[in-house]
Amino acid sequence: MLYFDCDYMEGCCSEILKRLAEINMEKNRGYGTDRYCKSAEEKILKACGLSEGEVYFMTGGTQTNSTVISALLKNYEGVVAADSGHINTHEAGAIENSGHKVMTIKNKDGKIAGEDLENYLKNFFSDENNEHMVYPGMVYISFPTEYGTLYSAGELSEIHNICIEYGIPLYVDGARLGYGIMAEENDVTLEYLAHNCDIFYIGGTKVGAMFGEAVVIPNKGSIPHFFTMIKQKGALLAKGWLLGVQFDTLFTDDLYFKIAENAILRANEIKRIFAEKGYRFYINSPTNQIFIIMEDEKIRELKNNVSFGFWEKYDERSTVVRFATSWATAKEDVEKLEKFL
Amino acid sequence: MLYFDCDYMEGCCSEILKRLAEINMEKNRGYGTDRYCKSAEEKILKACGLSEGEVYFMTGGTQTNSTVISALLKNYEGVVAADSGHINTHEAGAIENSGHKVMTIKNKDGKIAGEDLENYLKNFFSDENNEHMVYPGMVYISFPTEYGTLYSAGELSEIHNICIEYGIPLYVDGARLGYGIMAEENDVTLEYLAHNCDIFYIGGTKVGAMFGEAVVIPNKGSIPHFFTMIKQKGALLAKGWLLGVQFDTLFTDDLYFKIAENAILRANEIKRIFAEKGYRFYINSPTNQIFIIMEDEKIRELKNNVSFGFWEKYDERSTVVRFATSWATAKEDVEKLEKFL
Amino acid sequence: MLYFDCDYMEGCCSEILKRLAEINMEKNRGYGTDRYCKSAEEKILKACGLSEGEVYFMTGGTQTNSTVISALLKNYEGVVAADSGHINTHEAGAIENSGHKVMTIKNKDGKIAGEDLENYLKNFFSDENNEHMVYPGMVYISFPTEYGTLYSAGELSEIHNICIEYGIPLYVDGARLGYGIMAEENDVTLEYLAHNCDIFYIGGTKVGAMFGEAVVIPNKGSIPHFFTMIKQKGALLAKGWLLGVQFDTLFTDDLYFKIAENAILRANEIKRIFAEKGYRFYINSPTNQIFIIMEDEKIRELKNNVSFGFWEKYDERSTVVRFATSWATAKEDVEKLEKFL
Amino acid sequence: MLYFDCDYMEGCCSEILKRLAEINMEKNRGYGTDRYCKSAEEKILKACGLSEGEVYFMTGGTQTNSTVISALLKNYEGVVAADSGHINTHEAGAIENSGHKVMTIKNKDGKIAGEDLENYLKNFFSDENNEHMVYPGMVYISFPTEYGTLYSAGELSEIHNICIEYGIPLYVDGARLGYGIMAEENDVTLEYLAHNCDIFYIGGTKVGAMFGEAVVIPNKGSIPHFFTMIKQKGALLAKGWLLGVQFDTLFTDDLYFKIAENAILRANEIKRIFAEKGYRFYINSPTNQIFIIMEDEKIRELKNNVSFGFWEKYDERSTVVRFATSWATAKEDVEKLEKFL
């Protein structure tokens, strides 16, 4: 059986496994106060082109989103997101559970259009009755998006400038950040991202780490007592160095980007194969997720040999399905896939 | 100046003012344990055709919605509402603040269509990934809606049956219930309502009371410890008899319905006037709220003499405005209005 | 039957009832934007000796405490209170329900001793592990306390100075403020209070109003968007002028203090009677609540004619009971009480 | 430098490290739906003597406590705990953040005495005013406690029977469960525990795992939709098999207990040494935490060579310090420690 279900089906890249084994019996202080977290923070900030800043490590995406968003928002504020945003769909109401509304804008290919955001905020702030409404307190976008699409540098900058204009922070969910940065058509560097938002996270779980996400706060000190809020959310790993050493490894010799590139190469091969075989694409995604409109009969046949994701019904006879690659996808699996199509 | 801004610009109907004065120096026990609350409960249950049940009194709509909804929902559940529902728009995020998502369905004339609800629930419960999503734990509708429209008895029953099918309760926000029941085209009686939902409230603040809403739970005991949850929400009035005596008065000799009728009569007169003068209606509302598409120039002129609500921009030169009547609207004010149009 | 159960058994003082009737059919704008709220705010600020500041009106104590406290605290903070504080005992967990811990200090006669507060804060801030703990984010005291006792001006100032030293606000729950200020031994004026805390409320429900509490923020603008947080908590009365006109009346010609004095005079008479009859006092309370250690046999006998509060078991044969007076307590009721003792 | 700071300074036991490496490139399904979680669940249930039940895996203690407690409690309920309980002291208010009060009973050597619990619940349920108070909705105890002490089988059963009497569940925090079960004087087996509480967790983070806690629900189906609540709390690890394989390993051939024994053996040696050297013990702890009253001068000297925990000031010249052993503590480190004392 071939597996293209998602990008988190394996453990971690070999370099990380090695480091974890090497330091296994070392004695380290807890809660991220160890030297590996320190080193990882320094390397990440350097990779971001930040002379100062803060980096915190957590173990998963929903946890990170929930902790960051509730740390940024005041009681009367909500978070603006695309209706397709992960926080709005597949986090079991984590944001609302922390007391805040997810305020949605209709997505365009998984993204928020700058114009739509501008209109949304303009309408809110010009509404005489807005004191009876939830205030937009921050903007959430994902890069890449849930549909595998990317904001261009220009689009990102536009969103950020609108946020600056309205005095609210921009948060970027980078669960698959590596796959975005390494996409061929992408023009957003890690450094550019770090200078065009107020807080973001670098996803490890889906990009080579065993587990872990690194939250980057470019403006040092901008979230007082973030450590305690992480603890309160149950998001503070006792053995924080497990996260530190993973990101220290990923940000040594550009490993994070090198392994991310594999997912892009494999995805591009798969896209070429689908195109050659005449399949229709549901959306033009330049990263590691490929959305295909497939006839239901073909799906039934294919799933005898290949495991992949069902997205949504397309029409009476067809369904949108998702194929995902990752840092771990083998070239030979792609070749085998071609034979089943 | 004439005022048609909203339906809560005056104190209370004269019968209530009289009763409040009469019992002012009586000594009553607090927190709704007094005889007036008891009597009001009995009268309301009788008016609802319920042999048993429970009635609780609170002081306002947002408070009531927030208390009822958080009492009904489990942690992993949200409330399904029309996108135009008051809880989704003008309650400053009260529902989310209590930890729950408002899950929206696009409104049709302010209402949820039964078919849309059925599809929404069917899609959710057939989704393989729904364990990662917020569960629809109840349905919220308003009667009349925020656009002044009404569910017919058939539509209400359809919604309720869908709720029963999916095992989730139906809650009806009756902030303007009296105006709905007394509307000419309405076929939903109080008794019908009480037998076609799981919990609802009878609005007093907008229908003759000084303040107060009466929550009716037809199925006695279905919300254990509701009293304590009211207290926890800060919604338990110390001098509960102030609410009890008001509803006792409103439900003596059908006063609630008699005074509600005035709003309908006045609204119908205003609608006739607008129609005769050639104004366009934004929506066909049979209750006490009238939505007119008015040219901006006319608005500027009219507001020298008349105060009314601005709803939303309609086009370059026109705006949707709202005129509201109430139990207190004087016939002569309607006659004066005609002259300014 | 005589009633000394509590201080909120009647409606309101005659002056307020008259005003409510007079303006009943006036048309006023909602949500506290009316002229009565404006006038009440001005009179209250003047009575507080404040040249500027803000005043907001809510309908009850738990609601006010919950709204104020959650508006002041950040996510990682809790509120420090005496273990006997109302927010810790009889508000059904309203504070925790809004996400914050009530951090308790053992009370001394219902009060927090300055020394204990100083030690508590010193210990917290010198604890190396405090990043894993709830931060003390504000201090809550009640004046008078739940035991009817009072902070002297010196004690209040001491508490406030400690708060200033640690950079956290002091909030004073004044549910029975009038009875504190009018107590014979009291040396805290309203003006003194307003200058020795960061926020407090003037209780109306228990002191002559039909309902209502007035929150005073001496430092204007110190709680941005407080209005929206009031709305979110369901604490914004639609007909806000009902609260405004009551406080406008209470703060015209010192009415608030004049009617409060009655409770003190009656309480002092009752205390004299109990003392003369040889009863023991559980606590020396200078305000309108009297705590007596009474033999259970006497309680059984007395309650045939007098209604009063049971506080707690004292020993095998005795119980602590509470007698409360109010603005409405009649001198003749006190005389009748004497005969039953 | 010698380290006795805490019991989570190393990675994991060698057997786990080996398994993680072996399965690293296997493809597994996410969110705990893999075969390792299934196998671990079966082995744990068997070790608990449960023919059915449920096991869920999370990554840390605070996260587990917060998720379990908010899943069990209704809105109007709080959790009863010893004042020294971890949830009351060092979880940054995680429980309150989820809306619930921690209701404390004064600890006796870190434990809740059955008599105190009985009195607490009896007082609450006999209080006429309890509808205005937080309901005790469950009991939380830790085994071992935060002071390293243990409930005897008789004490545990007594607590559980009181819970049954009052109809509320008992939850046992087993962050250091292995060290409790392997203590010499302990008479509580895993099977006994599983039959004398309603839910508990088996700590992995402190007992040989790299990270992870296993929540055991003896009564299958007693917490509907627990999976979604885990997700909502950000506590659902995407690569759930990382937890599964660790617990599968720990519960193969009694590994969990074998490695836990090391901590007990080393702690007993340390206790013998301290006793021989004439040190006073702050508390008599039979598990892996040793609390010593040490003169401040000695502390200053010792910490040049040994790292350990500062607990609290004892008197002017002495401090309570903590030495912790673990599955990883080397016998030679104990021998070295002796020389420095």
Answer yes or no: do D96 and C91 touch at CB < 8 A: no
CA A64, CA A72: separation in Å to the nearest integer? 12
**Residue among D89, D99, D310 whose CB faces C97 most closely:** D99
**Residue among C74, C135, C225 whose CB faces A76 most closely:** C225
Answer yes or no: do D237 and A62 touch at CB < 8 A: no
DSSP string of D197-210, one letter each residue? SSEEEEE-TTTTSS
DSSP H or E stretch at residue A203: strand A199-203
| B–C CB contacts, 8 A cutoff, strictly below | 142
- Edge-to-edge strand list for the sheet holding C289-295: C280-281, C289-295, C318-324, C309-313
Strand-pairing partners, residue D183, are none
CA C248, CA C16: separation in Å to the nearest integer? 9
Strand duo C213-217 + C102-105: pairing = unpaired
What is the token pair recorded at B227? 């009293």
Provide, as residue numbers in chain D, all residues whose Cβ is less than 8 Å from the Cβ of C310. 128
Nearest CA in chain C to A72: C75
DSSP string of D285-329, one letter each residue? --SSEEEEEEEHHHHHHHTTTEE-EEEEE-SSSEEEEEEE--TT-
Answer yes or no: do B131 and D70 touch at CB < 8 A: no
Burial class (CB in 10 A: 0-12, 13-18, 19+), B129: exposed
Which residues have a Cβ under 8 Å from the Cβ of C89 and sit 6 or more positions away? C146, D133
Catalogue the long-range contacts made by A155-158 (C-beta closer than 8 Å, 24 or more residues apart): A155/A111, A155/A114, A156/A188, A156/A192, A156/A193, A156/A196, A156/A197, A157/A196, A158/A114
- Edge-to-edge strand list for the sheet holding B318-324: B280-281, B289-295, B318-324, B309-313
**Residue among B6, B14, B233 whose CB faces C30 most closely:** B6
Residue numbers in chain C where pLDDT is lower than 70: none
Angle of helix A331-340 relative to helix A255-276, nearest 10 degrees, comes to 20
Q: Is residue B142 within 8 Å of residue B175, measured between CB atoms?
A: yes
Provide, as residue numbers in chain B, all residues whose Cβ is less than 8 Å from the Cβ of D74. 225
DSSP H or E stretch at residue C171: strand C170-173
Average model confidence (pLDDT) across chain D: 97
Amino acid identity for residue D90 in this structure: H
pLDDT for A41-77, tens place per residue? 999 999 999 999 999 999 999 999 999 999 999 999 9
Structure letter (DSSP) for residue D108? B
Structure letter (DSSP) for residue B111? B
Nearest CA in chain D to C92: D133
Catalogue the long-range contacts made by D218-225 (C-beta closer than 8 Å, 24 or more residues apart): D218/D48, D218/D50, D218/D53, D218/D194, D219/D53, D220/D52, D220/D53, D220/D54, D221/D54, D222/D198, D223/D54, D223/D71, D223/D72, D223/D199, D225/B74, D225/B76, D225/B131, D225/B135
- Looking at residue C76, what is its pLDDT? 98
CA B223, CA B293: separation in Å to the nearest integer? 44
pLDDT-derived band at A327 (thresholds 50, 70, 90) equals very high
Which of B67, B68, B76, B127 best probes binding to D when mutated, by most D CB atoms within 10 angstroms? B76
- Looking at residue D128, what is its pLDDT? 86
CA B161, CA B125: separation in Å to the nearest integer? 17
CA A118, CA A112: separation in Å to the nearest integer? 10
Strand-pairing partners, residue B290, are B323
Burial class (CB in 10 A: 0-12, 13-18, 19+), D165: exposed
Provide, as residue numbers in chain D, all residues whose Cβ is less than 8 Å from the Cβ of C91. 132
DSSP H or E stretch at residue B120: helix B114-126
> Is the CB of A71 inside 8 Å of chain C's CB atoms?
yes
Indicate the SS3 state at residue D192: helix
**Residue among A90, A99, A102 whose CB faces B99 most closely:** A99
Using alpha carbons only, how large is chain B's radius of gyration in Å? 20
Q: How far is A128 from chain D (nearest CA, A)?
A: 33
CA D136, CA D118: separation in Å to the nearest integer? 12
Q: How far is B33 from chain A (nearest CA, A)?
A: 33
Amino acid identity for residue A102 in this structure: V
- Edge-to-edge strand list for the sheet holding D170-174: D54-58, D213-217, D199-203, D170-174, D135-142, D77-82, D102-105
Give the pLDDT mean for D104-119: 98
The predicted complex's ipTM stands at 0.97
Amino acid identity for residue D116 in this structure: D
Segment 84-123 of chain C within 8 Å of chain D by CB: 89-93, 96-102
Indicate the SS3 state at residue C170: strand
Q: How far is A76 from chain C (nearest CA, A)?
A: 6
Nearest CA in chain A to D64: A234
Answer yes or no: do D25 and A231 touch at CB < 8 A: no
**Residue among B132, B133, B229 whose CB faces D76 most closely:** B229
Q: Report the first-to-last Cα separation within chain B, whole angstroms.
A: 14
Provide, as residue numbers in chain A, all residues whose Cβ is less than 8 Å from the Cβ of D64. 234
Nearest CA in chain A to C231: A132
Provide, as residue numbers in chain A, all residues whose Cβ is less than 8 Å from the Cβ of B128. 310
What is the token pair recorded at C236? 């914004």
Answer yes or no: do A96 and B134 touch at CB < 8 A: yes
Provide, as residue numbers in chain C, all residues whose Cβ is less than 8 Å from the Cβ of D99. 93, 96-99
pLDDT-derived band at B295 (thresholds 50, 70, 90) equals very high
CA D198, CA B294: separation in Å to the nearest integer? 65
Catalogue the long-range contacts made by D120-126 (C-beta closer than 8 Å, 24 or more residues apart): D120/D80, D121/D80, D121/D162, D121/D166, D125/D166
Segment 183-202 of chain C within 8 Å of chain B by CB: none
**Residue among A99, A102, A133 whose CB faces B97 most closely:** A99
CA B138 to chain centre: 17
What is the token pair recorded at A79? 């978070």
**Residue among A20, A23, A234 whose CB faces D66 most closely:** A234
Dihedral over Cα of C248, C250, C251, C252: its sign: positive
Query: Beta-carbon neighbour count of residue B296 at 10 Å?
Result: 14
Average model confidence (pLDDT) across chain B: 97
Provide, as residue numbers in chain B, all residues whose Cβ is less than 8 Å from the Cβ of C25. 10-11, 328
Give the pLDDT mean for B122-146: 96
Provide, as residue numbers in chain D, all residues whose Cβ is less than 8 Å from the Cβ of A65. 234
Indicate the SS3 state at residue D167: coil
Segment 276-335 of chain A within 8 Å of chain B by CB: 310
Q: Is residue B186 within 8 Å of residue B180, measured between CB atoms?
A: yes
Which of D12, D239, D306, D332 best probes binding to A when mutated, by most A CB atoms within 10 angstroms? D239
pLDDT for A188-214, tens place per residue? 999 999 999 999 999 999 999 999 999
Answer yes or no: do C94 and B60 touch at CB < 8 A: no
Given a cut of 90, whether residue B128 has pLDDT beyond it is no
Please give the C-alpha separations between residue A216 and each of A12, A55, A192, A198, A202, in angstroms, as whole numbers: 22, 5, 13, 9, 8
Q: In this complex, which chains have at least 3 CB pairs below 8 Å with chain C?
A: A, B, D
Answer yes or no: do D225 and B70 touch at CB < 8 A: no
CA A221, CA A225: separation in Å to the nearest integer? 9
Provide, as residue numbers in chain B, all residues whose Cβ is less than 8 Å from the Cβ of A99. 93, 96-99
Given a cut of 90, whether residue D254 has pLDDT beyond it is yes
**Residue among A89, A128, A134 whose CB faces B93 most closely:** A134
Answer yes or no: do C96 and D92 touch at CB < 8 A: no
DSSP H or E stretch at residue C289: strand C289-295
DSSP string of B128-182, one letter each residue? TTGGGS-EEEEEEEESS-TTS----HHHHHHHHHHHHHHT--EEEE-TTHHHHHT
Instruction: Tell which residue, C19, D252, D213, has the closest CA to residue B21.
Output: C19
User: Could you give the residue ranges of the DSSP H alpha helices within chain C?
Assistant: 14-22, 35-47, 61-72, 86-89, 94-97, 114-126, 153-166, 177-181, 190-194, 226-232, 241-250, 255-276, 296-302, 331-340
**Residue among B20, B67, B94 whose CB faces C11 most closely:** B20
Provide, as residue numbers in chain A, all residues whose Cβ is less than 8 Å from the Cβ of C230. none
- Looking at residue A128, what is its pLDDT? 86
CA D134, CA B229: separation in Å to the nearest integer? 10
CA D229, CA B75: separation in Å to the nearest integer? 7
Instruction: Tell which residue, D136, D140, D221, has the closest CA to residue D174.
Output: D140
